[in-house]
Amino acid sequence: MDIKSYLTPENSIVAGLATVALVIGNYNLHNGSAAQANMTEPMHPALTGSNKKAGVTSLIMVAGISLIARDANIFILGSAAIIVMHSSYIHSIAVNPANNKAVQAAPAVASLYAAA
């Protein structure tokens, strides 16, 4: 079975970069800026929940766009953006603003990110 992309190679890269912008926008919509997340108390349950929600909705968005366009570049670039944004926000959420050092997550919170 041959799956052929609907997009030309030039348009594939542009669509992939647009998907990266959508992922960044989705994370900023759910979590606020990374600077704001950095200034909250470390591992706050509201922010960890929002971060997981942003990851899941971004994954659904990237998968849907790449399946509709039948294009692997969109999936690759979008997935890389999800990994980068999720890692950045996990770090921002874990930092204590008083001393700018990452704190160890409580056991209940650590189990949430063990599979991630």
Residues 6-25 have pLDDT tens digits of: 889 899 999 999 999 999 99
Name the band, by pLDDT with cuts 50, 70 and 90, for residue 101.
confident
Q: Is this structure's pTM higher than 0.75? A: yes
- State the DSSP string of the chain: -----SS-HHHHHHHHHHHHHHHHHHHHHHH--HHHHHTSPTT-HHHHHHHHHHHHHHHHHHHHHHHHHT-HHHHHHHHHHHHHHHHHHHHHHHEETTTTEE-PPPHHHHHHHH--
**pLDDT one-digit tens code per residue, 36-73:** 988 988 888 899 999 999 999 999 999 999 999 999 99
